Structure 1
Amino acid sequence: MASLDPVLDKDGVRLIVDEAIATVTLANPAKRNAQNFALWRALAEAGRVLPGSVRVVVLRGEGKSFSAGLDRQAFTPEGFDGEPSFIDLARSSDEQLDAAIAEYQEAFTWWRRRDIVTIAAVQGHAIGAGFQLALACDLRIVADDVQFAMGETSLGLVPDLTGTHPLVGLVGYARALEICATGRFVHADEAERIGLANLVVPGDQLDAAAHDLAAALLAAPRDAVIETKALLQGATTRDYDAQRAAERAAQARRLRDLAGLGD
């Protein structure tokens, strides 16, 4: 994949497409792929420019860490050049502050689109915003040196980049509260045991394992995967009978499509 021309390469984000598989790389290893506002805009743009032929997206980080979280420069009065600091944001109106956070969240929302399956390949530190970015994906393969932590609460903040919903869904309310409120590290063995990680592999096998999973996901017909993902995503908000009805409707669509009777 490295020989392919990037579809996007800016602000620490690189998107490469190889037929049905896309790879999004956090590409600032010198800063452990720390995140800032420009990177979030680039991640959101990667979702917008993703070709329709893509079925699986792999998210990875260059270097020893997946992402060490938010660049601490955001907490300084100066902030980043040409960008508001957190202090500036705090002084804005309720509407402006809400709109700014909503814009930042866009970098974390498109990974759960129903027409793609997303895999986070995570090594080293995945802290705060890095943890939430891994949680934004459908699946997580982690290296045996992974260290997840939700550090926002220890800084007097809350996780606000869409990570709370998937975290509770994966590990339950009580454990999610404990992880967030203490800010402690979750290592590879625990991550696999409590459901944060689908698979743990040695660090030098991480990229290969992610590619193997991506290839396996391509084996089933695309529309069947889309319908299945939609069913599973909706299962937590439907009661048993509503889920049964959703299954019937989805299967009817699949049967008609296979019989050449679809729209």
Structure 2
Amino acid sequence: MTTAVMDPGLLERGGLVLDVDGPRATIRLARPEVLNAQMPATWEALRSIGEALPDEVRVVVVRGEGRAFSAGLDKRFFTAQEIDGTPGIAGIASMPDREADAVIAGFQAGFSWLRHPARVTVAGVQGHAIGAGFQLALACDLRVVADDVQFCMAETSLGIVPDLGGTHPLVHTVGYARAVEICLTGRRVGAEEAVASGLALRAVPVAELDAEVDALVSALLTAPPGAATETLGLLSGVAEGLDPADALAAERAAQLRLLRAMVPAES
């Protein structure tokens, strides 16, 4: 097992551990003493991981150490002007619009790469996945949950909005009406509802979560890399609103690329 080449100090500051093993990379939120609360350094480290992963990585797993996936934002983010040299809410609020927008866009970049069709991303979620934790799970293509999971979009109840890319996948997954209700009430969504609503593929006992994620990763890696990437691109395009005619054209183009890769051109 090897570790991708990137600044280990950045990973440590972000509270993350990264392992790369052939076609699989595993990112672990590793601050269990604070229920894997996130901070700007976490998002910077996530963004750097997305930029540094080797091309051969086909599946990325996101997990949280301890009894929670992530309980959301580090409490210091709400009160401090800066957290370890990066702006907190007070610092962002005092910035000019363009500068503040760029800062938040940088935070979002730590999540958005997880939906790129170059790789399949899987969140294995146990315990609390609140606010930023919920949005991190939503950033992944697939979610497998433990039977103790508690999803919660807490931002609106705190006077802010979910701004780490969570609104789009939430609406696409559960529908507009249920997304409104989940966000504005701030209620908890448990394992049974998560599976029924499409938030999770399946729920298993906590002790079986790692094994279930491993089995899913193995299954996802059975498809040839080229076909898997092209199929992800097609499905992603449809999910983003590609109309039927354009989807058909995209299928034709993808198929031709694969067929031509299979049959060498005549010299």
TM-score calculated relative to the size of structure 2? 0.93
What is the aligned partner in structure 1 of residue 156 from structure 2? Answer: 153
Q: Deviations over 1:161-207 (max 9, x none)?
A: 00111111111111111111111000000000000001111111111
Q: Deviations over 1:192-239 (max 9, x none)?
A: 000000111111111111111111111110110111111111113222
AA in 1 matched with 2:202: L
Instruction: Assess, with a 3 A threshold, how the Cα gap between structure 1 residues 145 and 261 changes in structure 2: closer, same or farther.
Output: farther
What is the aligned partner in structure 1 of residue 189 from structure 2? Answer: 186
Q: Which residue of 43, 47, 69 corresponds with 1:44?
A: 47
What is the aligned partner in structure 2 of residue 259 from structure 1? Answer: 263
Q: Which residue of 72, 76, 101 corresponds with 1:73?
A: 76
Q: Distance in 1 between matches of 2:224 and 2:85?
A: 46
Q: Secondary structure at the match of 1:52?
A: coil
Instruction: Assess, with a 3 A threshold, how the Cα gap between structure 1 residues 78 and 97 changes in structure 2: closer, same or farther.
Output: closer
Q: Is the CA contact 2:81–2:89 (under 8 Å) kept in the aligned structure 1?
A: no
1:52-67 paired onto structure 2 within 5 Å: 52-67=55-70
Deviation at 1:5, TM superposition (A): 4.7
Q: Is the CA contact 1:13–1:24 (under 8 Å) kept in the aligned structure 2?
A: yes
Report the more deviating stretch, 229-238 or 143-152: 229-238
Q: Secondary structure at the match of 2:86?
A: coil
1:164-175 paired onto structure 2 within 5 Å: 164-175=167-178
What is the aligned partner in structure 2 of residue 97 from structure 1? Answer: 100
Deviation at 1:48, TM superposition (A): 1.3
Instruction: Assess, with a 3 A threshold, how the Cα gap between structure 1 residues 131 and 261 changes in structure 2: closer, same or farther.
Output: farther
| Structure 2 unaligned spans of 5+ | none
What is the aligned partner in structure 2 of residue 222 from structure 1? Answer: 225
Deviation at 1:260, TM superposition (A): 2.5
What is the aligned partner in structure 2 of residue 10 from structure 1? Answer: 12
Q: Distance in 2 between matches of 1:20 and 1:239?
A: 32
Report how many aligned residue pairs link the two structures: 259
Percent of pairs with identical residues = 54
Q: Distance in 2 between matches of 1:227 and 1:5?
A: 27
Q: Distance in 2 between matches of 1:217 and 1:79?
A: 41
Q: Distance in 1 between matches of 2:190 and 2:3?
A: 33
Deviation at 1:79, TM superposition (A): 4.4
Q: Deviations over 1:53-89 (max 9, x none)?
A: 1111110000000000001111114542433231121
Q: Distance in 2 between matches of 1:79 and 1:184?
A: 30
What is the aligned partner in structure 2 of residue 28 from structure 1? Answer: 31
What is the aligned partner in structure 2 of residue 82 from structure 1? Answer: 85
Give yes or no for the alignment of 1:108 onto 2:108: no
Report the more deviating stretch, 188-197 or 85-94: 85-94
Deviation at 1:243, TM superposition (A): 1.3
Q: Distance in 2 between matches of 1:240 and 1:48?
A: 32
AA in 2 matched with 1:190: E
Deviation at 1:39, TM superposition (A): 1.2
What is the aligned partner in structure 1 of residue 249 from structure 2? Answer: 245
What is the aligned partner in structure 2 of residue 138 from structure 1? Answer: 141
TM-score calculated relative to the size of structure 1? 0.95
What is the aligned partner in structure 1 of residue 125 from structure 2? Answer: 122
Q: Is the CA contact 1:6–1:14 (under 8 Å) kept in the aligned structure 2?
A: no
The RMSD of aligned alpha carbons is 1.4
Q: Secondary structure at the match of 2:151?
A: strand
Q: Distance in 2 between matches of 1:81 and 1:49?
A: 23
Q: Secondary structure at the match of 2:66?
A: coil
Q: Is the CA contact 2:194–2:200 (under 8 Å) kept in the aligned structure 1?
A: yes
Q: Distance in 1 between matches of 2:142 and 2:265?
A: 33
Q: Which residue of 207, 211, 218 corresponds with 1:208?
A: 211
Deviation at 1:90, TM superposition (A): 0.5
